[in-house]
Amino acid sequence: MTVSEAAERVGLTTYTLRWYEQEGLVEPVDRDSAGRRRYSDQDVDWLVLLTRLRRTGMPVRDMRRYAELARQGDRTLGERRALFEAHRDRVLARIGELEEDLKVLNYKIDIYEKMERELL
Amino acid sequence: MTVSEAAERVGLTTYTLRWYEQEGLVEPVDRDSAGRRRYSDQDVDWLVLLTRLRRTGMPVRDMRRYAELARQGDRTLGERRALFEAHRDRVLARIGELEEDLKVLNYKIDIYEKMERELL
DNA sequence: GCTTGACTTCGAGTGTGCTCGAACTGGAAC
DNA sequence: GTTCCAGTTCGAGCACACTCGAAGTCAAGC
């Protein structure tokens, strides 16, 4: 599929797709006879995984590292697993943090509700 | 307390504390006779609240809006509550998103473990 | 009374992750 | 065969949230 079709599927812009490729997050995508990118389903799968990592706050730098490891095949499986485990821990910590902050938010909302009632 | 003491307490730098003031996230802080900022406990409490909001991903723009409302006193209680409720919903959505992504992460880790065992 | 060090303001610079404009190209529709 | 559209590259620009350097001030310790 074309870059714009791929962009639509993964929920990124065509700009970003080209930029990801340039940044080494994605293998150079196949081209048609006119030099236009042709994305395969595997390309899209990879991009979807990247968007997940990105959404969880993984820096582009780490995503690139991961992409490099993936390119080197099975011998980097352990390293890739370690990278994911470390990231999972960060995501868990982040969820914990958000839940803490949510408590404060809820507390504040309660306070405001009480104050609003008292002002009637 | 001084700007550096306040910075230490809230976990921000002195640069950021001055910048927050400049950006209107914080009321102009009291000064001593030499023109140096003197932070009160209330100032610190306010800053701590701001760091929570910030950590949950609230844009500085919205924090400024909240600060402006707070300055206007009780008549903006409803608006402040609404602002917090909307933000709470975003935080909840974000937690949900992270939990989804966490599943993918765990799935990937499992796959890697399996593949590593098979390669022995 | 001099040094030191933490403060002040101001404007400029940084890092991250895109986002876009300009100039060009090539295949498809009419 | 011209128009049109979606693609191409390249470098520049942008939004956000800080971060810092420079030049100056002031109180406290020696």
Q: Give residue-wise pLDDT tens across range B52-96.
A: 999 999 999 999 999 999 999 999 999 999 999 999 999 999 999
Q: Tell which of B71, B89, B108 closes a domain.
A: B71
Please return the burial class of B69, using the count of CB atoms within 10 Å of its CB with bins 0-12, 13-18 and 19+.
middle
Residues of B in contact with A52 (CB under 8 A): 101, 104-105
* pLDDT tens digits, one per residue of A36-87: 999 999 999 999 999 999 999 999 999 999 999 999 999 999 999 999 999 9
Same domain, B21 and B44: yes
Between CA A70 and CA A78, with CA A73 as vertex, the angle to 5 degrees is 75
Q: Are residues B51 and B93 in the same domain?
A: no
Residue B119 confidence (pLDDT): 87
> Residues with Cβ < 8 Å from A21, sequence gap 6 or more?
A27, A28, A29, A37
pLDDT digits (tens, 9 = 90+) for A14-44: 999 999 999 999 999 999 999 999 999 999 9
pTM for the predicted model, two decimal places: 0.92
Q: Output the average pLDDT for chain A.
A: 97
B79 shares its domain with B67: no
Nearest nucleotide over every DNA/RNA strand to the A34 CA, judged by C1': C26
Residues from chain A that touch B113, judged by Cβ atoms under 8 A, are 81
Whether residues A67 and A10 share a domain: the answer is yes
Do A62 and A17 lie in one domain? The reply is: yes
In total, chain B counts a number of residues equal to: 120
Q: Which of residues 53-82 of A touch B (CB under 8 A)?
A: 53, 55-56, 74, 77-78, 80-81
Residue ranges making up the domain that contains A31 = 1-71
Judgement on whether residues B54 and B94 belong to the same structural domain of the protein: no
Contacts of A116 in chain B (CB under 8 A): 77-78, 81
Same domain, A53 and A26: yes
User: Both A64 and A117 in a single domain?
Assistant: no
Chains A and B form CB pairs within 8 A to the count of 90
| pLDDT tens per residue across span B9-59 | 999 999 999 999 999 999 999 999 999 999 999 999 999 999 999 999 999
User: Which residue, of A50, A71, A92, is where some domain finishes?
Assistant: A71
Q: What is the CATH number of the domain that holds A67?
A: 1.10.1660.10
Number of domains in chain A: 2
- Looking at residue B120, what is its pLDDT? 78
> How many Å from the CA of A36 to C1' of D6?
10
End position of a domain, from candidates B48, B71, B94: B71
Percent of chain B residues past pLDDT 90, beyond the cut:
98
Claim to verify: residue B15 and residue B66 sit in the same structural domain: yes
**How far is Cα B106 from Cα B120, in angstroms, rounded to an integer?**
22
Nucleotides of D under 7 A from a protein CB: 6-9, 16-20, 26-27
- Kindly state the helix (H) or strand (E) to which residue A50 belongs, with its residue range: helix A41-55
The Cα diameter of chain A in Å comes to 73
